[in-house]
Amino acid sequence: MLDVAKSAIPFDTKQLDRLMDEAGIDVLVANSKHNVQYLLGGHRSIFFDYMDAMGISRYLPLLVYPKGAPEKAAFFGHRLESHQKEVNPFWTPEGNTNSAGSVDAMQKATEYVRKSGVKAKRIGVEMAFLPADAAAALRSALPDSEVKNALFVLERLRARKRPDELAMLRKASELVVDSMKAVIAKTGPGMTKQEQFETLKREEVNRGLTFEYLLLTAGSSLNRAPSGYKFAKGDIMSLDSGANYHGYIGDLCRMAIIGEPDAELEDLLGEIEMIQRAAMKPIKAGAMASVIYGVGDPLVAKSKNAEHMHFLAHGMGLVSHEAPRLTSRMGYDAYDAERPLEAGMVISVETTLQHPRRGFIKLEDTVAVTDTGFEIYGEGGRGWNRAGTAR
């Protein structure tokens, strides 16, 4: 077995060992693309970047990490990853890129676990990302092992971002805002929502981002899907876009108008801006995470538009809505709400007004927690951006 230098491992092995111990896991088998990317220090298959299907099966990357034994870690990937392995070798002593689908990848991984001699009474996998056929292969190969969900362990490992991760999140956010401003400048009467959608995709890709989505509205409609609707003079528009830079997500929302906003529109967006700023103000390392909702929710409740307004804050990183978990409104528990924020955590703060007469008005910002406060990533374009300036 080859040795591995501690300096080559991109994550804190002591923290991972502690988290695995607390969860009762002997061997971790990470099986989502984002967590494998994190554990390998940035590797992501260029062929399976945003698809999984291949032939009669699917791509399933697997990283085996025995607790306390990084020298016995191993990666099992697809044969098409051998080219990337040749250029940038993996830190894991074992790097197998000979699989063609989900079952054979799992068979190779479990065979490796058996032969390595590591304790494997309790195996942790990411249940939500493990195909049924691979799960069956795991249980068949290691029938005496208990299979446990390791999603929480890996989420906690990623909760505090390293400086290089923060730099990528900052860049992703800034480039998303730049892309939206460029699209707004090109938008005018006669352009369709579908055309605006495609234009933003090109703007983001041309800036080195991987486009993920654009939720956009036009005029007084609250519908956020691309369509054949043609923008008209006086229309407001909301652009809520997510794109990633090397896997790290920029997710922001900005507003625009074809023409000039009237006093009511200025007031509506101004109130949203006020709520955003107020909710972000108490953010700093050591503050209880609940302070964000403790400010945002009461301000929404006091608004004359409270019936149509909502406030949301959630973690950001390789995944949208990752740790810190701040609310139970999105289908997960508010695990971090009564725990202190930590420097390096990244939070999306958003306030949305679905006005029944004026339309969809929203701001969404990305905020990094620091020792002394916070930093906003991609702060530009927060007011009413005037559309059509480049036409």
Question: Is residue 3 over pLDDT 90?
Answer: no
What is the structure's pLDDT at 356? 97
Residue 207 CA to residue 202 CA, distance in Å, equals: 9
Do 108 and 203 belong together in one domain?
Answer: no
Q: What are phi and psi of 214, to 5 degrees?
A: -140, 120
Do 342 and 251 belong together in one domain? Answer: yes
Contact 350, 364 (CB under 8 A): yes
User: Is-contact 284 263, C-beta < 8 A?
Assistant: no
| Residue 138 sits in the same domain as residue 176 | no
> Is 138 in the same domain as 242?
no
What digits encode the pLDDT tens for the residues 166-180?
999 999 999 999 999
Residue 188 CB coordination number (10 Å): 17
291-302 vs 263-280: helix crossing angle, rounded to 10: 160
One DSSP character per residue, 243-261 reads EEETTEEEEEEEEEESS--
What CATH number does residue 138 fall under? 3.40.350.10
- Tens digits of residue pLDDT in 41-96: 999 999 999 899 999 999 999 999 999 999 999 999 999 999 999 999 999 999 99
- Model confidence, pTM: 0.95
pLDDT digits (tens, 9 = 90+) for 207-227: 999 999 999 999 999 999 999
What is the domain range of residue 258?
A: 163-386
In a domain, 271, yes or no: yes
Same domain for 240 and 103, yes or no, is: no
| Same domain flag for 125 and 40 | yes
Segment (H or E) for 151: helix 151-158
d(CA 116, CA 280): 49
**CATH number of the domain within which 368 lies:** 3.90.230.10
Of 158, 182, 206, the domain-final residue = 158
- Residue 15 domain-assigned? yes
Q: Which two tokens stand for residue 13?
A: 């092995």
Domain endpoint, select from 158, 189, 214: 158
Asked if residue 363 lies in contact with residue 253, where contact means CB atoms within 8 angstroms, the answer is: yes
Q: Is 391 inside a domain boundary?
A: no
Burial 40-71 (b: 16+ CB within 10 A, else e): beebbbeebeeeeebeebbbbbbbbbbbbbbe
Do 225 and 200 sit in the same domain of this protein? yes
Q: Is the CB of residue 154 less than 8 Å from the CB of residue 35?
A: yes
How many structural domains comprise the chain?
Answer: 2
Domain stop point among 158, 173, 188: 158
Q: Distances from the Cα of 36 to the Cαs of 11, 33, 164, in angstroms?
A: 12, 5, 17
Is the same domain home to 368 and 297?
yes
